[in-house]
Amino acid sequence: MSSTRAPGSGRSRDVHGVLKRVFRRNRGLFPLGTLLLCIYQVAETLVPIAIGLFIDRVISAADEAALIQYGGFLLALFAVIVITWRFGARAINRAVENEAHHLRMEVAARILDPRGIRLRSRVGELLTVSTQGTENAASALSAGARGIAAGAAAVVAIVALIMIDVTLGLVVIIATPVILGALQRVSPVITRRASAQHSAAGWASALATDLVSGLRPLRGIGGEEMAAHRYRTQSRIALRAAIRSARVNGLYTSASYTTNGILAVVVAGYGGYLALAGQISPGELIAVVGLSQFLPGPLGVLAATPRGIAVAKAASQRLGRILGAAYVLAPGPLSLPQGRRDLELSGVSYNTLHNLSLTVDAGELVGILSYDPHDADALVAVLSGRLPREEYKGTVLVGGVSIAEVTPEHAQRAILVEPHRTDLFAGTIGSNVCAGQPDAGAEQIERVLDASAARDVVTLHPEGLDAPVTARGASLSGGQRQRVALARALLTAPSILVLHDPTTAVDAVTEQAIARGIKDLRHHSGPRVHTTIIVTSSPALLACCDRVLVLDSGQVSAVATHEQLAASNEDYRRAVLR
């Protein structure tokens, strides 16, 4: 029975197909590196065999001509070992690093996709998966290549032992699959423990991220100890998961080395018995002893390969959940018309909004006051264009086209919603201001700095725009972060800009300057093609608007200028005038 997927589900990748793609994407470097490592391992296996031949054919026979022949063979063998190891290891390491980079880029692109993804993962958990998880998944290339090379070495060693004595070869042939089969039964446990460790570490990272980002508010309400207790609890859970995983890995490693060591002792001991019995020559005894010392190496790698693949599989499953997550928005077939774009909401119902209808003409500067903050949040969510169509009723038209039928990329370039709580990135003030317009000219930057009153933030630092900013803008005050974020939004210059309480952390004088700056930049410089909507209760911002829409109980209850509403509406005065 065939199955269908809903449009925009985004599950173009099988949730378990990450490892397959890892190997398919490296179908050039991986075989080359594996071949070179196989040659390297085979050459290493031939060293004790060549030394045994050297003893029998040169030293025992006292053959000077054979000395040059076998001596040259040994030198060539060591040259092959050095060259193939260098270039083989380089090829595999390059494939691993490149693949880890590709996976990180895929995860980042998926998380930042304009369509959004349906994923219940916190920021810290996503960070853990995109760093440690990608490296673990890419390490499957290294584990696979070294496992194949170790297998080639084991095959050559077994063939050599059979040629020396059939019983010796049979002992290794029988013991090797028994050992590997027994160890393989532990792989599912390793996968589960590794997955549990990654999950616990992800939650600990998520809590740490939340704790750092909310440190100032926590201090204000005295909640540091409770938050720290939650983090300590999760950290202990992560520690226990890591210890359980390490315990299984340690037992696995010790068991593999112990069994391989026992096998090597048995092979060497039986070879000594054969030499004493006169059934093998001194050179063959040297070869047997050398191979018995060498075999634990490739057999140990073979034993560790299932563990490496198990860890990579656990990481790939977590990556697969992100890369295979369904999209929130279905990609629409339309693009928005060029030129002036008005905005119209008709019969919109979402959360606390009930059959809301409003129109904003192209070029207007409109203020929206909501008596209930939940109404404001719901309106901003609808205007953001990030809500799935099935989550709200009614239509949102931009330039006469339903926002639900427009490709997310076009929609989000035309209408930009700057949320009340914004984040800055680690870098500089300049890199944050220009994040949406990296090619902006100096004059454009100067204008948005003036309009957002962010010039004070720049001049406060000797480095100016090159002043460093730590992660999430923690090195700046709340008001400075708001002004830098506002400058960034203004520099993007979208057709429709929605600002949600952009001045709550600045003083009244700065708020007045920002109100004038927004109006001058977007509505007094050239033709009025830009539309600006400010969702706020700030009297300074509302006073600069062409008109103000009042939301009450999820609907528009009044429309007028700020002055008219302040003079005639008591509820408005109580909500706005300070």
Beta-strand relationship, 496-500 and 531-535: parallel
Residues 6+ apart with CB under 8 A from 503: 482, 510, 511, 514, 515, 536, 538, 540, 541
DSSP for residue 326: P
Give the residues across from 348 on adjacent strands.
356
DSSP-assigned states of every residue in 102-153: HHHHHHHHHHT-TT-B-----HHHHHHIIIIIHHHHHHHHHHHHHHHHHHHH
Q: Where in the sequence of the chain do the CATH 3.40.50.300 domains occur? A: 343-576
Quickly tell me which residue has 């201001």 as its tokens: 433
> pLDDT tens string for the chain (578 positions)?
333 333 344 444 444 588 888 998 999 999 999 999 999 999 999 988 888 887 877 666 666 667 777 778 888 999 999 999 999 999 999 999 999 999 999 888 888 777 777 776 666 567 667 777 888 889 999 999 999 999 999 889 888 888 888 887 777 777 766 766 666 666 566 556 666 665 666 666 655 655 555 544 545 455 556 666 666 776 777 777 777 777 776 766 777 667 767 777 777 777 777 777 778 777 787 787 777 777 777 877 887 788 788 888 888 888 888 888 777 777 666 666 666 678 899 999 999 999 999 999 888 999 999 999 899 999 998 988 888 888 889 988 888 888 878 777 777 778 888 887 777 888 888 888 888 777 888 888 899 999 999 988 888 888 888 888 887 777 888 888 899 999 998 998 888 899 999 988 888 899 999 999 999 998 876 555 688 999 999 999 999 999 999 999 889 999 999 999 999 999 899 888 76
**Interior/surface letters 501-517, b for 16+ CB within 10 angstroms, e for the rest:** bbbebbeeebbbbbbbb
Domain 343-576 has CATH 3.40.50.720: no
**CA 263-268-274 angle, 5° bins:** 125
Distance between CA atoms of residues 534 and 368, nearest Å: 6
> What integer pLDDT is reported at residue 218 of this predicted model?
46
Q: Distance between CA atoms of 39 and 55, rounded to whole angstroms? A: 24
In sequence order, which residues have a C-beta less than 8 Å from that of residue 507 and are 6 or more positions away?
Answer: 479
What is residue 163's predicted lDDT score, i.e. its pLDDT?
A: 85
Domain spanning 18-323, CATH class? mainly alpha
Yes or no: say if 403 and 396 are a contact pair by the CB < 8 Å rule. yes
Strands 468-469 and 427-428, how do they pair? Answer: antiparallel
Residue 58 and residue 61: Cα distance in Å, rounded? Answer: 5
CA 241-247-248 angle, to 5 degrees, is: 95
Provide CATH 1.20.1560.10 ranges for the chain.
18-323
Q: What is the pLDDT of residue 63?
A: 63
Strand pairing partners for 500?
A: 535
Output the pTM of the full model.
0.64
Residue 309 CB coordination number (10 Å): 20
